[in-house]
Chains A and B, each alone.
Chain A
Amino acid sequence: MRAKFSFVLPLALTALLSAWQIAAGHPGSTPFATWAYTLGFGILLVASVWLILMGREVLNSVVGVWFAALIPLSLSLGLVNEYAPTFTSAYLGFILIGWVGIAITRFMRAHPTLRVGAVAFVHGVAGLVIVGLPLLAFALYQIRPFILGMSLGGAIIGISGMILLWQRMGRSASKWDKWMERLPWSLLFSTLCLVIGLNLR
């Protein structure tokens, strides 16, 4: 089955944008934050290419969901390291435990509520950090408003992840198809917001 142009184009642009961000680096960021952002954009890049090649098969896979969870986790970790460095170790611990928790509940086939709960909790905290920390940084420090792009991008990624999860749990094929059509554009828009936020702040 050949993928539609309207499906491939936004994903290809997301991949290119992420590749550029990884190669260009993040001027002014600490090496730790740079690696955290690299992980987030790296998964966005690889996921976009895989989505072009494999379509929904990526999202049907347990491993796919597990790795996708790293996008908000790593981006929020980079932000914590830059704007609340004293919390870096504690937040890194939370991320590691949360990510392993998602893996355990997924791979051990735990009760659906527990599975969704683990992802929702970890995603939720990471989402709050990505949305809240740039807002806080903008309010407290003299940072250009472009940083709010990170909040917007993070919010879209977080909401997309949640919707994706609920759609999977609901198993409504028609809604799932509709969502799949919108997913590439939401990925592109959120990546664009994140890149603007990181580079023009």
Chain B
Amino acid sequence: MQTWLTVIKQRIRLYGSLIKPLQTGLLLATGLAGYMSARCPVYHLDSVFVLGVSLGLAISGSTVLNMWWDRDIDAKMQRTQSRPLAAGVLTPHETFILGVILSVLGVGWAFGISTGYGWIVFAGWFFDVIVYTLWLKRRTCWSILWGGISGGMPVLAGRTLGTGTIDGIGLLLALAVLFWIPTHILTFSLKHFNEYQAAHIPTFPARYGFRTTRLIITISSLLATAAITLAGIWLGMQWGYLRLLLVLSAGLLCLALIVMLRPTERTHFSLYKYASLYMLSAMLLLAL
């Protein structure tokens, strides 16, 4: 009995690391914020719950399948070598089955809740697993655009479930996430440039140089903050929250400018972290 419990606990811990809890949590937060920007969660706790579970399962499923497909890349990079699949602790077959089960449950449940919501969740899964991971990631650095579109789907799905239709605010929020993704991913590819090179993954710094990549980061930060602020204004956000959003946006823009003008390893890392914190805070403010 004790042995079985230990084995189950160990498996859950390993599966937990496969779904990249921080990344999945952040995307899930955007989905919940999208819903809460349309409806008060207190009076719709059941909807918030099913949204959270279905979206969480779908995002986790696509992340696990991404891990399964990229296990050879992970094994080559020092940063990811210790991941359970790359380290050989989990088998590819087991991981694949887990990814498929989570995906089917998540996307299936989403269709069960609402057809429109289901299609958007499916689109997010499709763009991430099929277009980004399987098709483009090893071919072109522009694959992150599709990763960005996929990343924008949770907030659009949440908003659509809340309003019952795809509206301008939902699209603007999805656009904000799409523009935010380069800040997040490109900063990461600058920081781990050598590892990506060793794994033969095409990246913007390798294709267009560091200077252009930093310029793209700054422009995408500007566009992301503009889209989120516009969405906030359109939503009729309270003045106090809007002021706070503007301050946080200014912080992101200034940091992107610093990275462009005086790049160091520390500023790259700081921008990467600040961008995540910014997105989480912005979504929280939109949900309030």
Contact = CB atoms under 8 A, between A and B. Distances in A.
A101 interface: no
B12 interface: no
B27 to A, nearest CB: 22
A22 B247 contact: yes
13 contacts: A22-B247, A24-B240, A42-B243, A45-B247, A45-B248, A46-B248, A46-B250, A49-B251, A50-B251, A54-B267, A57-B266, A57-B267, A63-B258
Interface of B: 238-241, 243-244, 246-248, 250-251, 254-255, 258, 262, 264, 266-267, 269-270, 273-274, 277
> DSSP class of A's interface residues: helix, strand, loop or mixed?
helix
Interface in A12-27: 19, 22-25
A76 interface: no
A53 B243 contact: no
Contact of B241 (A23, A46, A53, A61): A23
A42 B239 CA distance: 15
* Secondary structure class of chain B's binding surface, majority of residues: helix
A160 to B, nearest CB: 20
Contacts of B243: 22-23, 25, 38, 42
Interface extent on A, as a size class?
Answer: 10 to 19
A55 B270 CA distance: 10
Given A22-B243, A23-B243, A42 B273 contact: no
B264 A49 contact: no
A67 B239 CA distance: 24
Given A46-B251, A61-B262, A23 B270 contact: no
Contact of A23 (B244, B266, B269, B273): B244
A99 to B, nearest CB: 15
